[in-house]
Structure 1
Amino acid sequence: MVTVRERRPAAHTPSSSTAVEVARRILLPLTLMALVTLGLGLLLTRVLEHSSLIAQDEAVSREIAQERTPFWNTITHYGSMLSDTPVIIVVTTIMVVIFRLVYGRWRESVFLVAAVCAQSAIFLLATVFAQRARPHVQHLDPAPPTSSYPSGHTSAAVAFYCGVALVLTLHTHRHTILKALWWVLGAGAALTVGLSRLYRGMHHLTDVSWGWVLGIFCVFVLAQALLIRPVMASRRASSKRTANEAAPA
């Protein structure tokens, strides 16, 4: 007698389900943001290059350049330095080590590195295909080879400083004053960098504005996937264990 073995549907392995989850929660939204960023850049440089929007962008830069003073030149010099590439690399490395040592795990460190790298990748993609000239004013900083759109300094500042603020907020969620302090410092640093780049003639207003949007988006997507969902799940499990232990036998 010939026996026919019953075929069972292949079960999803943990690795495959994890890959699908990563793609759905991280790769897909970041890919969409990259396409939107690139599309907006091409719109600004290929379609709207002679529009009133571009003219207004240049007018804002000229008006700011005419109001420069030695005091604000110095202030914005240090404000811009907060997000220079070597600075971001060094401070990110430092915070990765601190988070690992303080929290005893890699989750927070991986989130911070992922947020910084994600915005950088999208920024570099846009600068390659949508090369926008910098404002036609005196530049107070050396112009890097990348284009004006979007502001990489701004998106990196949001990713790092707001990313750090978010991590600290999640670990001090019961202390309102500390939470406010983290966001005043984090958002304040990101805002300072963007305004400094605008003041120093390195980017148009639209470049800086989209830099803020890009940084916020990367922080939000990666925080949802790597920080907030695991933290909330951990808290629910802890509350459930506490409730079970308190329940009468």
Structure 2
Amino acid sequence: MSFLTRWDDDPSRPGFGSALRDAAVRAVLPGVLVFAVVCAIGWVIMEPLRGFEAENDVNRWFQDHRTPTGETITKFMSMIGNTEYVIAVGVLVALVVLWRTRAWWFAVVPLLAISLQATIFVIAAYVVGRPRPTVERLDPTPPTSSFPSGHVGASTALYVSFVLMATRLPNPVVRRVVVTLCVVAPLLVSFARLYRGAHHITDILVGLANGVVCALLAWGYLRREPAGGQSRA
């Protein structure tokens, strides 16, 4: 069974209880390991590297090259990573997928991805407590929640899960357009958060990694059987 085609190879309907157990074992438990790795990277940055002050040079370079046009554009680019936006888009797409497929166990994939990412981000940001870059921030942000980037992690988890779901679209043109847009979206958020002084580069890179891993865990959360195998009723 291919990882990408797992939902087509076994379209059987799972019970709610079995799906919940699968989510706990195949997504939440691995998420604990992801959380530990994120915190370990944060500890290295804050302790042996003493906050990795050299990264502030990159943020100061962006600050020195800001323009009114760039600030306006990046404001909208950053907004697509806002919690409210990510939740709203995730719920809307999940409802559309549920309406089209009647498969609730598949429709919840993006919601599981962003929920898992958000949990890891919120706790890790509190544990690590990394200060924001030493530049003027263009957005209101908590002073010690820089690592990892929640905006980047949330948008990455959401749009990578959309990329995986889009592989099932039958029209190749529509599929390519959707995949391209969904790949570009978290990159725009990443650039905007760096440009607007909200995060260091490592905050963004770890946010990207956190989002990708959470999307992959969500995509594979439900046990599926190979085509021709014994599926769960």
TM over 0.5: yes
2:182 maps to amino acid: G
In percent, how many aligned pairs have the same letter? 32
Distance (whole Å) between structure 2 residues aligned to residue 139 and residue 176 of structure 1:
42
Q: Which of 147, 171, 177 is matched with 2:173 structurally?
A: 177
**In 1, are the aligned partners of 2:56 and 2:134 still within 8 Å (CA)?**
yes
Gaps of 5+ in 2: 1-14
Match of 1:155 in 2: 153
Gaps of 5+ in 1: 1-13, 239-249
Distance (whole Å) between structure 1 residues aligned to residue 121 and residue 160 of structure 2:
18
Match of 2:61 in 1: 63
Q: Considering only aligned residues, what root-mean-square deviation do their CA atoms show, in Å?
A: 2.3
Q: Which has the higher contact order (CA 8 A, sep 6+)?
A: 2
Deviation at 1:135, TM superposition (A): 0.3
Distance (whole Å) between structure 1 residues aligned to residue 48 and residue 139 of structure 2:
29
Match of 1:6 in 2: none
1:135 maps to amino acid: P
Q: Higher helix fraction: Structure 1 or Structure 2?
A: 1
Distance (whole Å) between structure 2 residues aligned to residue 19 and residue 106 of structure 1:
12
Q: Compute the TM-score of the two structures, normalised by the length of structure 2.
A: 0.84
Q: Which of 213, 217, 221 is matched with 2:217 structurally?
A: 221
Q: Compute the TM-score of the two structures, normalised by the length of structure 1.
A: 0.79
Match of 2:196 in 1: 200
1:24–1:81 CA distance, 2 compared to 1 (3 A)? same
Distance (whole Å) between structure 1 residues aligned to residue 33 and residue 25 of structure 2:
11
Bigger Rg over Cα:
1
**For 1:47, what is the secondary structure of its paired residue?**
coil
**Superposition pairs for residues 89-238 of structure 1, below 5 Å?**
89-144=87-142, 147-169=145-167, 171-172=168-169, 174-226=170-222, 230=224, 233=226, 236-237=227-228
1:225–1:34 CA distance, 2 compared to 1 (3 A)? same
Measured against aligned partners, the alpha-carbon deviations of 1:54-110 in whole angstroms (never above 9, x if no partner) come to 133111111111111111111100000001111112112211211111111202322
1:92 maps to amino acid: G
Measured against aligned partners, the alpha-carbon deviations of 1:121-170 in whole angstroms (never above 9, x if no partner) come to 0001111110000000010111136610000000000111221222122x
Match of 2:40 in 1: 39
- The number of aligned residues is 215
